[in-house]
Amino acid sequence: MSPEQQAGEIVDARSDLYSLGVTLYEALSGKPIPQGQYEDLAMLNQAIPPEIDDLVRDCLEPRERRIDTAKAFVVRLASVLSATKPISEVLAHGRLHEIALALQSMSVEEFMKLPEGQRTLILVKLDDVVESTEPNLQYAAAQFLELLLIRGVLLDTESYRRIVGPAIIRGFERNYGQSVGRRTLRDAIEQAASLARADAHSLLQDEFMAFMERADFEIMPDYLLHECREVLQALLANPACNHGAKSLADFLRRVNTAQKSKPITKRW
């Protein structure tokens, strides 16, 4: 609620813009704006552009200085979420959110057309982020993995392994408090399982079956069993599945049996 609304004054659209700024902040941070001292979103999470903080602050200004239309808000937000710098400049000097934006705009073929040095630098940056224990890098790590799972399906086996292994752990195994794994990563793994060809498909298949071997289906939540089934089906349906189909099918049967024995729970 804007200050003028709390004061019982006559309000206009600018009051809604104040509330929109507060809502955007809480959606991105998971907590209210600290009273009396704004805490930058870009410091809490390096995947968030600093310009988002500028936009939120402009929504929180006193009414006469506040951003005054939803159109202006949308234009500002769209400009923040568009990649404009050359990829060489972004990789050399850009923040993590700028690299993610650049990757997001690329197809698989465009990613593979990058010079080898640029692709190598992206993978080194991925390693650095994934291996970090800093809380403000955890979302960035997941975002990088999601993007590279798809765009990296034509990489050599060892390079792709650096993406697939951490993605399966974070997507299906890591505990995030109220849930296990990260759904957006599981969706990216399923998509990669459909797109991958030749060596990339074999690697995905081997890594996912290794996870299946160590998984305990008896205690696995229903939503994870469901998404294991989705990945197994995508791997089997892929035309590149020329070996290991029997093992994948055996795991699929085990998942189906385990899921039928459980009550349906919320899918995170």
| DSSP output for the chain | --HHHHTT----HHHHHHHHHHHHHHHHHSSPPPTTS---HHHH-TTS-HHHHHHHHHHHS-GGGS---HHHHHHHHHHHTS--S-HHHHHHH--HHHHHHHHHT--HHHHHHS-HHHHHHHHHHHHHHHH---GGGHHHHHHHHHHHHHHTTTS-HHHHHHHHHHHHIIIII-B-SSSBS-HHHHHHHHHHHHH--HHHHHHHHHHHHHHHHH--TTTS-HHHHHHHHHHHHHHHHSTT--S-HHHHHHHHHHHHHHHHTS------
**243 to each of 31, 192, 195, how far by Cα in Å?**
48, 18, 17
Domain-wise residue ranges, the chain: 3-80, 126-260
Band (pLDDT 50/70/90 cuts) for residue 85 is confident
Nearby residues of 145 by Cβ (< 8 Å), 6 or more positions away: 126, 130, 163, 166, 167, 170, 185, 188
Band (pLDDT 50/70/90 cuts) for residue 83 is low
Task: Write out pLDDT tens, residues 188-206.
Answer: 999 999 999 889 999 999 9
pLDDT number for residue 267:
47
Mean of pLDDT values over 159-164: 94
Q: How far apart are CA 123 and CA 7, in angstroms?
A: 53
At 60, list the tokens. Answer: 């929180």
More confident residue, 233 or 129: 233
pLDDT number for residue 233:
97
Mean of pLDDT values over 246-267: 83
CATH architecture type of domain 3-80: Orthogonal Bundle (1.10)
Task: Write out pLDDT tens, residues 105-144.
Answer: 889 999 999 999 999 999 999 999 899 888 878 888 888 9
Residue 175 β-bridge partners: 180
Angle at which helix 116-131 crosses helix 138-151, to 10 degrees, equals 140
pLDDT of 177 over the 80 cut: no
Compute the half-sphere exposure of residue 122: CA atoms within 13 Å on the CB side of its CA: 30
pTM given for the model: 0.75
pLDDT of 94 over the 80 cut: no
Nearby residues of 14 by Cβ (< 8 Å), 6 or more positions away: 2, 63, 66, 67, 68
pLDDT number for residue 254:
95
pLDDT number for residue 265:
52
Q: How crowded is residue 68: how many other Cβ atoms within 10 Å of its Cβ?
A: 15
